[in-house]
């Protein structure tokens, strides 16, 4: 039961980090199956992840690669290479002061066990 909770928690973390309201986008998810050993099947639940560069299986792990870019418009695209297509000025109510940061492309890789096991040594949360 704890292994199932760990899998659900890991999947929820990935989805939470990279989920925003999905809009029409030119970003496509490429699902491939590259393995070094074991099964080549990627569980169907990973097909729900959009915006990833790839979702593959490597032995006993699902490997999700992403560039970490939101698929929606944002004030934080100003001053980036995506400004002409992804920038949108803030149009909400109240005052808005943009912090000095902008969106940057990152090479993110997440390795999630296909069959997680309960840790023998647990850390407090």
Predicted pLDDT at 7: 55
pLDDT for position 26: 42
**Is residue 23's pLDDT more than 50?**
no
Rounded mean pLDDT of 105-121? Answer: 94
Higher-confidence residue of 118 and 23: namely 118
Per-residue model confidence as pLDDT tens digits over 70-105: 889 999 999 999 999 999 988 888 888 888 888 999
The owner of tokens 């979702």 is 55
CB 86 within 8 A of CB 76: no
Prediction pTM value: 0.59
CA distance 122 to 17: 24
* pLDDT on residue 114: 92
Dump pLDDT digits (tens) for 28-80. Answer: 444 444 434 445 689 888 888 888 899 999 999 999 999 999 889 999 999 99
Number of H helices, E strands in the chain: 2, 3
H or E segment to which residue 64 belongs = strand 61-66
The per-residue pLDDT for 93 is: 82
Alpha helical stretches, state H, 1-125 = 2-18, 83-86
């Amino acid at each position: 039961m704890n292994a199932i909770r760990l899998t659900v928690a890991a999947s929820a973390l990935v989805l939470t980090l990279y989920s925003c309201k999905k809009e029409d986008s030119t970003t496509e998810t490429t699902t491939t199956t590259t393995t070094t050993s074991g099964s080549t099947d990627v569980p169907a639940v990973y097909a729900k992840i959009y915006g990833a560069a790839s979702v593959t299986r490597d032995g006993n792990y699902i490997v999700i690669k992403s560039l970490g870019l939101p698929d929606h418009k944002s004030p934080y695209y100003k001053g980036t290479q995506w400004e002409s297509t992804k920038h949108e000025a803030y149009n909400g109510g109240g005052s808005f002061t943009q912090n000095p940061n902008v969106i940057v492309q990152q090479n993110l890789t997440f390795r999630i066990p296909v069959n997680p096991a309960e840790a023998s040594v647990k850390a407090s949360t």
